[in-house]
Amino acid sequence: MAIVAVNMVPLGVGTSVSKYVAAAEKVIVDRPNIKRQAGPMFTTLEGDLDEIMQAIREMQEAVFAAGAARVLTTIKIDDRRDKESTMESKMNSLNAKLKCDN
Q: What is the pLDDT of residues 41-93, one digit of tens each?
A: 999 999 999 999 999 999 999 999 999 999 999 999 999 888 888 888 888 88
**DSSP for 3-16?**
EEEEEEEEETS-S-
CATH number of the 2-101 domain: 3.30.70.930
Q: In this structure, what DSSP letter does residue 25 have? A: H
pLDDT at position 90 is 87
Mean pLDDT calculated for residue range 1-12: 95
| Identity of residue 66 | A
Residue 101 in this model has a pLDDT that exceeds 80? no
Estimate the crossing angle of helix 49-65 against helix 18-28, to 10 degrees: 140
pLDDT at position 102 is 53
